[in-house]
């Protein structure tokens, strides 16, 4: 019974070896000469000037969430675009496919206009 799990064990061991061996080799073979410059925090090329735990404005998170929302909505256009030739070739699906995407884009546009009117995209 347990011999059926032997390939799984081998797979796990090989995966661990692929993950751990390069790290250990880099630690053993690579030079390790830390100094103050290497150990200092790095933030986009200049010295950090504030504590990393400061609170961000809520609008930053709102913009990020809206970006993810609209970005994912646009990602739904790709499957439709890949079968667009098949939709156009089928007489019965031609108008349905077109109006289906227009309804989708209309809902997306209404959401965008609503967010714009609420002032979520304004940055002072």
DSSP per-residue codes, 14-81? HHHHHHHHHHHHHHHHS-----HHHHS--BTTB---S-TTPPPPHHHHHHHHHHHHHHHHHHTHHHHH
> Alpha-carbon distance 15 to 110, whole Å?
48
69 and 102 inside one domain: yes
Give the whole-number percent of the chain exceeding pLDDT 70. 90
Do 106 and 75 fall into the same domain? yes
Q: Is residue 67 part of a domain?
A: yes
Q: Is the model's pTM score more than 0.85? A: no
Residues linked to residue 46 through DSSP beta bridges, in sequence order:
43
Tokens 């030079």 correspond to 31
Give the pLDDT band (50/70/90) at residue 62. confident
Question: Of residues 73 and 31, which shows the higher confidence score?
Answer: 31
Count of structural domains within the chain: 2
**Is the confidence at residue 98, as pLDDT, over 90?**
no
Structural domain boundaries enclosing 10: 2-39
Residue 9 lies in a domain: yes
- 104, part of any domain: yes
- pLDDT over 80 at 49, yes or no: no
């Amino acid at each position: 019974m347990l011999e059926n799990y032997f390939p799984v064990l081998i797979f796990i061991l090989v995966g661990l070896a692929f993950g751990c061996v390069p790290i250990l080799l880099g630690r053993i073979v690579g030079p390790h000469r830390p100094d103050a410059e290497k150990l200092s925090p790095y933030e986009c090329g200049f010295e950090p000037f504030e504590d990393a735990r400061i609170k961000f404005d809520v609008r930053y998170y709102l913009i990020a969430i809206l970006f993810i929302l609209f970005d994912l909505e646009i990602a739904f256009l790709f499957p439709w675009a890949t079968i667009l030739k098949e939709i156009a070739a089928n007489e019965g699906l031609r108008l349905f496919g077109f109006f289906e995407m227009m309804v989708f884009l209309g809902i997306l546009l209404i959401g965008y206009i609503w967010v714009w009117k609420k002032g979520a995209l304004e940055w002072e």
